[in-house]
Amino acid sequence: MGRIPSLKNFNAFPHAEDHLLKKTYSGAIVTIFGLIIMITLFVHELKYYLTTYTVHQMSVDLKRGETLPIHINMSFPSLPCEVLSVDAIDMSGKHEVDLHTNIWKLRLDKYGHIIGTEYLNDLVEKEHGTHNHDHDHEHQDEQKKHEHTFNEDAEKMVKSVKQAMENGEGCRVYGVLDVQRVAGNFHISVHGLNIFVAEKIFEGSNHVNVSHVIHDLSFGPKYPGIHNPLDDTTRILHDTSGTFKYYIKIVPTEYRYLSKQVLPTNQFSVTEYFVPKRSTDRSAWPAVYFLYDLSPITVTIKEERRNFLHFITRLCAVLGGTFAMTGMLDRWMYRLIESVTNSKTRSVLRYRERRCRVSGRRAPVEKRQRRRRKDVFHDVAPIIEVVAGAEDD
């Protein structure tokens, strides 16, 4: 196949002959600098391409008949484990006692170290109904028969709890509550005690200190980037008492990984409210309430990766731009160095020319001076001889 001669005119990359190429130290320095920049930008673009980003979508929640997991991890530095109980109630008022619940209570010393464990298999204690809640539960006749009497077990419990409180013993409650997927609340308090046992231990509800630390509170497994607003929350009371209420709005969430795996979980927002205990109010005992409600909107979070062609386009733009800039920098440096070198060379040549000119002017003057000296000597010599002869006579 014959070559078309005019095709060379379309060549956008003409090549110079080898003897016309000139390598300089400045060009080498600019090349090394450009390579470092290119490698750095390449690594940055590669990390940017490999890093996933998330897309959020919202839709109506269509889940029904599922349970809501509540992960609890809290510490009560001023209340022993024997007096604490966990209670869960849904919006219909039904106590959730039949669910598969795993709750542990860890005894803590005054320094926060674990000194013992206790497992709770029920959320509501047997004596729960004999205690006055904010909901004003009615007392049953059978419970009234035992309100004014203490058996030996109760006396031992009172002594044990008082001793634990004197030693500064606290309690850590952690585990999982599985409740119905409807609005409700769960609370941690001393409501599991018989009202008269509680009076005997604390000598009034005003002395119940529900200071607490929420290490972790969530409504499902965690996914990358989730933020639970109550994590690491500390509420310490000094010389006062009261009830803490956390109003929680739960948002059902689905997290879809890049591998198409779906993780059902929940996010939530919270509003905190504290009700101080009044000295005249003896009906309500301090507690920590978590009142939750579910949003009808589900948030879907998808992991996605950037397009490969987009990565190639950005890479070409970055590397090409760096190459063009280093080329311009090399030309500027070469011209600057050439201009400085040429100016120095010109100044040296001018200096030499001046010296030559000066030396060329001095030579004829010296010759003329020598000739004048000789002429003067020839003119004066006869006179000197005559004077010398006369002196001899």
DSSP per position, 11-37: -SS----GGG----HHHHHHHHHHHHH
Helix axes 152-166, 195-202, angle to 10 degrees: 40
Phi-psi region of 260 (alpha: psi -120 to 50; beta: other; left: phi over 0): left
**What is the per-residue pLDDT across 213-249, written as a single tens digit (0 to 9) for each?**
999 999 999 999 899 999 999 999 988 889 999 999 9
DSSP 195: H
The residue behind tokens 């879907």 is 300
Angle at 99 between CA 95 and CA 105, to 5 degrees: 85
One-character DSSP codes across 32-97: HHHHHHHHHHHHHHHHHHHS-EEEEEEEE----S-EEEEEEEEEETTS-GGG-EEEEEETT--B--
Please give the residue that has the higher pLDDT: either 27 or 357: 27
- Report pLDDT digits (tens) over 244-264: 999 999 999 999 998 889 999
In the numeric block, which tokens belong to residue 173? Answer: 């409650």
Alpha-carbon distance 104 to 106, whole Å?
Answer: 7
Looking at residue 198, what DSSP letter applies? Answer: H
| pLDDT tens column, 270-320 | 999 998 887 767 667 899 999 999 999 999 999 998 889 989 998 999 888
Which distant-in-sequence residues (6+ apart) come within 8 Å of 172 by Cβ?
A: 73, 74, 75, 76, 105, 106, 108, 114
Average the pLDDT over 357-375 and give the result: 58
Domain ranges of the chain: 31-51+307-356, 59-120+145-304
Res 119: pLDDT? 55
* Backbone angles phi and psi of 275, in degrees to 5: -110, 105
> Alpha carbon of 136 to those of 129, 139, 141, 283, 382: distances in Å?
10, 9, 16, 9, 157
The gap between the terminal CA atoms of the chain, to the nearest Å, is 121
Which is more confidently placed, 130 or 47?
Answer: 47
**Which H or E element spans position 347?**
helix 308-392
Report yes or no: 289 and 244 within 8 Å, Cβ to Cβ. Answer: yes
- The pLDDT tens digits of the residues spanning 112-163 come to 888 877 655 444 433 333 344 444 444 444 444 444 455 777 788 888 888 8
* Distance (Å, whole) CA 213 – CA 72: 11
Give the pLDDT band (50/70/90) at residue 70. Answer: very high
Residue 97's pLDDT band (boundaries 50, 70, 90)? very low
pLDDT score at 229: 94
Q: Kindly indicate the confidence band of residue 382, based on its pLDDT and cuts at 50, 70 and 90.
A: low
Query: What CA–CA distance (Å, rounded) separates 263 from 32?
Result: 48
pLDDT score for 141: 47
What one-character DSSP code corresponds to residue 128?
G
375 — pLDDT class (breaks 50, 70, 90): low
Q: Is the dihedral of CA 95, 230, 266, 295 positive or negative?
A: positive
| Largest pairwise CA distance in the chain | 180
CATH of span 59-120+145-304: 2.60.470
